[in-house]
Amino acid sequence: MREAPASKEIPLPDRESVCRQICEWVKSLARGESRRRPSFMSPYANQIVEAIASYHEQLQREQKHLELVDRFLVRLQEGRSLHELLDYIFNNFGDFVPFDRIGFSLIEEENPDIAVAIYMRLREGTPCLNVGYRADIRQSSLKWVLESGQPRIINNLEEYFLTHPHSVSTQLVLQEGIRSSLTVPLVAFGRAVGFLFFSSKQPNTYNDEHAALLLRLGRKLGIALEKANMMDRLFIRTEQVRQLANMASHDLRNGLSLIEGYLDVLEKGADPAVLGSREEIISRMRKACNEGMALVSDIMDLARADARCLRVRKSLVDLPSLVRERVEFHRVRLNLKHLSVHIESQELLPTLEADPILIGRVLDNLLSNAIKCAPPDSTINIVLSFDDNKCTVSVRDSGPGIALEAQKDLFTCFPRITRFGPQPEISSVGLGLAVAKELVMAHGGQIGVRSLPGEGSTFWFSLPRKGDVTPLTTAESG
């Protein structure tokens, strides 16, 4: 390496003086003093000062980043909700990463190809891409973000949309005035949990430094947000269990009270004829017992499914035969309402690997609901088909239909059903469809509903011809 000419070298005493001034300045930086940066005649000395100053500024930024995350984690430990944590990001991250909009989407646990918008907030204006927006990410660049674990920067969304014209989410954020975006994958406990979106109304907003910062924070944020989301779900689940206990105990008490009332009358020696015929009394008491036993079975199945210990004993199942068997099981109820059942089956329907008892329970639930909702003297249509290596069973009634806003809650433990026209007979707890969903999902299948005002309802479920006992996707309405 060529040395500088001797005439330009700093004399030794001056070098010692420069080093002493630099050391004193560095010590002042360590003490947090706002001391003016020294300047020297030597360009080499000034380069050293510049490098130290740049490194010190970087350390200060990183220290502020750490303090920001520490305050974030303190809020997590305080038990703040998911939305409170996201609001904290919105209110405090602007000094580090510029944005006009922040969004957060979760990957569905049961269907990792679907991302659901959980949080969307703009500094100004009304969001066009709202909370609840669901997107299939299989054909999206978000899939690459998850697989690579790397952030995605799009600094010109208008250009991006020209090459991705089918991206509905891009179209929606462009309507909000957004022109650039930075997307960070969030990972917790070894799996991708979602995305954090920073968006700006200015093009060319984001750079690698912003991406690197958010990527460094991404793991902590992912764990924190996942924990907060788990706490929210736990709170909801606890409230659901409390409601279920109250409603189930109410239903069981009603049935037991009816039986107890009959027994009291008979015990006191009253004439049983005042209560009806012997056959009527036995029928009512048996119905109360059967409803109570069915409710207990539903609760047990839900508990087993929730604990992932629902046992599925698979064997070869002839689906058309199983359907006809369950229809005959309901023959008495069908006759009481003068209902007929038309079964349409695709030719050469293959046998399934399934648990005939559990799938029989699913069929019983759908048939029971159809019988309740179908008007007298009408027909219930059952269609069996095979496509894409799965068998589908559809049960259609010609009842009044189900309100669209209620369809998304039908497969939960506490559906609030709004039907068009007179309200048919409905169980107060309404666990049947929730149990059916769990039984179908335990076979790796899907379940859903299609319903329009005045056109009845079609409940359907599909099962893979073969497959592991693993849930593949959530139930969908459509």
Q: Does 309 have pLDDT greater than 70?
A: no
Range from 79-93, 99-113, 198-212, 455-469 that averages highest in pLDDT: 198-212
Residue-wise pLDDT for 89-126, tens only, equals 888 888 788 999 999 898 887 678 888 998 999 998 88
Q: In this prediction, what percent of the chain has a pLDDT beyond 70?
A: 73
**Statement: residue 68 has pLDDT above 80:** no
Going by pLDDT thresholds of 50, 70 and 90, the confidence category of residue 42 is confident
Q: Does 195 have pLDDT greater than 70?
A: yes
Averaged pLDDT for residues 256-264: 76
In this structure, of 164-173, 238-247, 252-261, 367-376, the range with the lowest mean pLDDT score is: 238-247
The 3 state secondary structure assigned to the chain is: CCCCCHHHCCCHHHHHHHHHHHHHHHHHHHCCCCCCCCCCCCHHHHHHHHHHHHHHHHHHHHHHHHHHHHHHHHHHHCCCCHHHHHHHHHHHHHHCCCCCEEEEEEECCCCCCEEEEEEEEECCCCCCCCCCCEEECCCCHHHHHHHHCCCEEECCHHHHHHHCCCCHHHHHHHHCCCCEEEEEEEEECCEEEEEEEEEECCCCCCCHHHHHHHHHHHHHHHHHHHHHHHHHHHHHHHHHHHHHHHHHHHHHHHHHHHHHHHHHHHHCCCCHHHHCCHHHHHHHHHHHHHHHHHHHHHHHHHHHHHCCCCCCCCEEECHHHHHHHHHHHCHHHHHHCCCEEEEEECCCCCCEEECHHHHHHHHHHHHHHHHHHCCCCCEEEEEEEEECCEEEEEEEECCCCECHHHHCCCCCCCCCCCECCCCCCCCCCCCHHHHHHHHHHHCCCEEEEEECCCCCEEEEEEEECCCCCCCCCCCEEC
Residue predicted with more confidence, 414 or 285:
285
Mean pLDDT (whole number) for 301-324: 76
Answer whether residue 288 shows pLDDT above 60: yes
Highest mean pLDDT among 213-217, 244-248, 423-427: 213-217
| Predicted structure pTM score | 0.46
What pLDDT, on the 0 to 100 scale, is given for residue 286? Answer: 77
Q: What does the pLDDT average to over 171-191?
A: 88
pLDDT value, residue 1: 44
Highest mean predicted confidence (pLDDT) among 6-15, 41-50, 165-174, 308-317: 165-174
- 23 versus 298: the higher-pLDDT residue is 23
169-178 average pLDDT score: 92
Q: What was the pLDDT predicted at 313? A: 83
Please determine, for residue 433, whether its predicted confidence score (pLDDT) is greater than 60: yes
Residue of higher predicted confidence among 337 and 33: 337
The pLDDT assigned to 429 comes to 42
What is residue 146's predicted lDDT score, i.e. its pLDDT?
85
